[in-house]
Amino acid sequence: MKIAFVGKGGSGKTTLSSLFIRHLAAVGAHVVAIDADINQHLGAALGLDEAEAARLPAMGDRLALIKDYLRGTNPRIGSAESMIKTTPPGEGSRLLRVREDNPVYDACARPVELDGGAVRLMVTGPFTDADLGVACYHSKTGAVELCLNHLVDGPDEYVVVDMTAGSDSFASGMFTRFDITFLVAEPTRKGVSVYRQYKEYARDFGVELKVVGNKVQGQDDLDFLRAEVGDDLLVTVGHSDWVRAMEKGRPPRFEQLEDVNRRALDTLRTTADGTYERRDWERYTRQMVHFHLKNAQSWANERHGADLAAQVDPDFVLSEGVVEPA
């Protein structure tokens, strides 16, 4: 399952994605964790110290390698340079799997040991001004989108992405790449307004969106979220002393997380697991083609001096059953 955590700045995306990743690791699940947020804090939230976090290789700096690997022998893609973030896989392309070793993980992923097991962590790298807003070409999250479009994940495998709810994810097709999107919202008007905006974008693409209330204290907070987001409210998390202790640099063992918060994490997991049966690889492929054609027309054809619509393999449907070239 591919799972995104989005929300307003400071809402608790990194905290909740890191807790969810720890929860998955504790039950022995296979996890790839990706930090695609403007503020790169997932490594620290998973317990890396500053020096370790600083040493993480940035996916944004390794785009050429990623493209060259994923292109494989796809005859529709003449060179890695002609590949953009939305170039879809086709016959001959290489795909990514959660459990395998491959050159993309070698270059971009690092193992992080957690109580209960290790996960792979990948980071986009710090954002600069050029990454934000309309500068699609420079987008750091392009590397993540490319990987998600070439990823075939099975039922007991998880890719968890910590990302913003900002315009960057809507300028591309990134927000449609997940089996489920958890929107983290504090019980405030601002928190809820981000939800409304996301919901609006998501509606036309059938994006499965659930709200995770964070820093919810008491009935009044709960009533507020219920009234504002209705049935989209999946679960709420209160203030966590475990999180606070971790922030002080004294992480307790994960077993010591408050029961009520562990139950909330389990609800996230069963909800994510429940999406697998409804997964529609044809629609997933159609949507990546849609965004590729949109990108090709709006900026990429002009930049590359070629019609990048020709990169689309009309007969290809991404799925767990695709057989790749040796």
Residue numbers at the binding site for ligand ATP (CB under 6 A): 7, 9-15, 37, 39, 41, 214-215, 237, 239-240, 243-244, 247
In angstroms, what is the minimal distance from the CB of 74 to Mg ion?
35
Q: List strands edge to edge, sheet with 209-213.
A: 109-114, 117-123, 30-36, 157-163, 2-7, 180-185, 209-213, 233-236
Residue 134 tokens, joined: 């309309």
Residue type, 211: V
In angstroms, what is the minimal distance from the CB of 311 to Mg ion?
33
Q: Which is nearer to ligand ATP, 18 or 87 (CB)?
A: 18
Q: Which is nearer to ligand ATP, 240 or 271 (CB)?
A: 240
Q: Which is nearer to Mg ion, 75 or 126 (CB)?
A: 126
- Segment near Mg ion (CB under 5 A), from 22-30, 39-47, 186-194, 305-313? 39-47
Q: Which is nearer to ligand ATP, 37 or 228 (CB)?
A: 37
Report the relative pairing of strands 2-7 and 180-185 from DSSP bridges: parallel
Residue 114 tokens, joined: 């957690």
Residue 298 sits at the vertex; the CA angle it makes with 313 and 74, to the nearest 5 degrees, is 20
Q: Are 265 and 23 in contact (CB under 8 A)?
A: yes
Residues 6+ apart with CB under 8 A from 208: 178, 179, 180, 181, 275
Strand partners, 213: 185, 236
- Segment near Mg ion (CB under 5 A), from 29-37, 52-60, 213-221, 250-258? 29-37
- Segment near Mg ion (CB under 5 A), from 14-22, 85-93, 260-268, 271-279? 14-22
Residue 1 sits at the vertex; the CA angle it makes with 115 and 32, to the nearest 5 degrees, is 45
Q: Which is nearer to Mg ion, 13 or 71 (CB)?
A: 13
In angstroms, what is the minimal distance from the CB of 275 to ligand ATP?
23
DSSP 88: P
If contact means CB under 5 to 8 A according to the sort of partner, which of Mg ion, ligand ATP, none does residue 81 touch? none
In angstroms, what is the minimal distance from the CB of 77 to Mg ion?
34
CA 130 to mean position of chain CA atoms: 21
40 binds Mg ion (CB under 5 A): no
In angstroms, what is the minimal distance from the CB of 115 to ligand ATP?
18
Among 14, 74, 271, 285, binds Mg ion (CB under 5 A): 14
In angstroms, what is the minimal distance from the CB of 239 to ligand ATP?
4
Q: Which of 222, 210, 233, 184 is nearest to 16 (CA)?
A: 184
Determine the size of the site formed for Mg ion (CB under 5 A).
5
For the chain, the C-alpha Rg in angstroms (whole number) is 19
168 binds Mg ion (CB under 5 A): no
In angstroms, what is the minimal distance from the CB of 124 to Mg ion?
12
- Segment near Mg ion (CB under 5 A), from 16-24, 34-42, 240-248, 294-302? 34-42
First vs last C-alpha separation in the chain: 26
Q: Which of 234, 228, 190, 227 is nearest to 208 (CA)?
A: 234
Q: Which of 22, 40, 41, 39 is nearest to 31 (CA)?
A: 22
37 binds Mg ion (CB under 5 A): yes
If contact means CB under 5 to 8 A according to the sort of partner, which of ligand ATP, Mg ion, none does residue 267 touch? none
Q: Which is nearer to ligand ATP, 106 or 247 (CB)?
A: 247
Sign of the alpha-carbon dihedral angle for 279, 318, 101, 4:
negative
Give contact residues for Mg ion (rule: CB under 5 A): 13-14, 37, 39, 41
